[in-house]
Chains A and B, each alone.
Chain A
Amino acid sequence: MSNHHDTSIGILGAGRVGTALARQALKAGYRVRIATSQPAADNALLVDIVTPGAVAVESSVAAASDLVVLAIPLHKYRTLNTHALAGRIVIDAMNYWAPVDGVFDDFESDPRTTSEVVEDFLPGARVVKSLNHIGYHELEEDDKAAGMPTRRALALAGDDAAAKAFVTNFIDRLGYDAVDAGPLAAGRAFQPATEIFTGSHTANQLRALIEKARPLADAA
């Protein structure tokens, strides 16, 4: 990634998370494409007004980006285009939040983290769990320049080292320190209702919380 202005970010989902991410990625200088389950033409006005600078595309085009972010309601993950996402670096920013979205067997009956379930559904995709534990308001408000002592940190977890390096750079450009929590299964440490999920932390604080959660993740 020599010049991130040539790097394309494909965002699947135009809800609150998807549009906030799109604006923040645009601010960082990325080329941003947005797709939903609707045809691109139906999203053109939305993208022009709410995320000016981004482009409304079909989901197959968004999936062909250098980095793809999943920002749809998690319970719709089976609508993702598995073929188009094969081989892609994919950030899973989705959460299972039964009190709001309802109870779904796919996640209730599976002991794994939701990102592992999603990765299973997307053969060949290089899934990194991240951007799921910051509120969509906060994403556009809490960013700080690199090196500032109070800079907020975001965790990531994944099994593909090169994909994680790419995502680390992306998170840094969005205005946050990236902290590697380990393999994808370690994302358990920052799922909903964890201390990481409900708080705001610097890199050092985040590393300590991930360490504290490690026995839990290993036991699962």
Chain B
Amino acid sequence: MENTLQIGAYSFGDTQLGPDDSPRSTAEAIKNLFDAIVHADRVGLDYFGVGEHHTVSMPASSPGALIAAAAAATTQITLGSAASIISTDDPVRVFQQFATADAISGGGRIEITAGRGSSVETFPLFGHDLNDYDELYAQKLDLLLTLNNSSTEHVTWSGRTRSPIGDLAVVPRPVTGSLPIWIATGGSAPSSARAGRLGLPLSYGIIGGQPHRFAPLANLYRQSAAQAGHTGENIKVSVATLGLVAPTKQEAIDRMYPGWVRLNVEMGRLRGWPAPERRDFLAQVDAPSAYFVGDPDEVAQRIVDLHGHLGHMRHFLQGDFGGLPQEHLLESLSLLATEVKPRVERLLAAK
């Protein structure tokens, strides 16, 4: 298990709302996200993850483009997709875009996280058939890994879902030879075992329930990796949760709640959920529940407590949804970097 913990954030973009609660422009949301990443770099956050969502309220559809822009405007922060929905994208293009961002960044701080996505909007958007879901994902991941692991510019690959690639140049190559490629999962046991067998780092998106209950899954992941002969620094776990940091817990709750309501009303309309109630939100804001919302002391303590269960090396939060005012996002990023991160380091060192 890791003894250090990177602290970060992720976002799917968050379209701001006008006075009558109607959405402002999606272009503004992308610019806000870019500004937030630059801010996160300036204040010293370790990691920022981007997209991929394709909705008016969450418009970060193109992580590669945004990360390439951010790579040019930042100096130290690690940037990655969170996640790239590779089932419905072209792995060659995904790889090229992130290798391009890597070149612009100077090398070594660009990552790809491959995921299946939590909804299926990309299938009709990109003209894919949902019945091919599992096959598409497995094949595209295999191609992406083949491209990344290649020792030369020229790649050969064949599979069942597209025409073969015969000794074709796929450029640019990453500065340090390859990019970190993570697997994103919401936490099913088979996907944890699969990531372990593949020897890939694993990112858990934990948006409900009790995060410490993922401990057996992380254990399964590590043991599956060991059984398949994978050891070393590629076997690691990161955790993405919802959360927001403010000077006081009450402020953090009051800032996060309106967006949470809007998000759940929107999701509920799509999925047939009932109207969200404040008590449903409040039931999730204290340990050991899922929302890391609070002042720096509490959020740091909760991250370290979870680390005792999962041994993760990175914890990153999403607080910008449902029209969170940009200044609240920026303050949360500042507090994460300047207040939460040093507390996490102290607490881990004292263990």
Interface residues of A (CB under 8 A from B): 14-16, 19, 36, 38, 45-46, 49-50, 75, 97, 99-104, 137, 192-195, 197-199
Contact = CB atoms under 8 A, between A and B. Distances in A.
Contacts of B18: none
A199 B273 CA distance: 9
B85 to A, nearest CB: 13
Interface stretch (B101-109, B117-125, B159-167, B310-318): B117-125
A37 B78 CA distance: 38
A46 B223 CA distance: 9
Main secondary structure of the interface of B (DSSP, over half): helix
Interface string B184-200: 00011110010000000
B223 A45 contact: yes
Contacts of A15: 188-190
Interface stretch (B1-9, B26-34, B147-155, B209-217): B209-217
Q: How large is the interface on B (under 10, 10 to 19, 20 to 34, 35 or more residues)?
A: 20 to 34
Nearest to B268: A198
A100 B190 contact: no
A192 B272 CA distance: 7
Interface of B: 118-120, 123, 130-131, 133, 187-190, 193, 208-210, 213, 216-217, 219-220, 223-224, 227, 270-274
Contacts of A16: 187-189
6 smallest CB-CB distances across A and B, nearest first, come from A193-B272, A102-B130, A137-B209, A49-B220, A102-B120, A50-B189
A210 B193 CA distance: 40
Nearest to A192: B272
A104 B129 CA distance: 10
Nearest to A199: B274
Given A50-B220, A102-B120, A137-B210, A14 B189 contact: yes
A197 B274 CA distance: 10
A101 B120 contact: yes
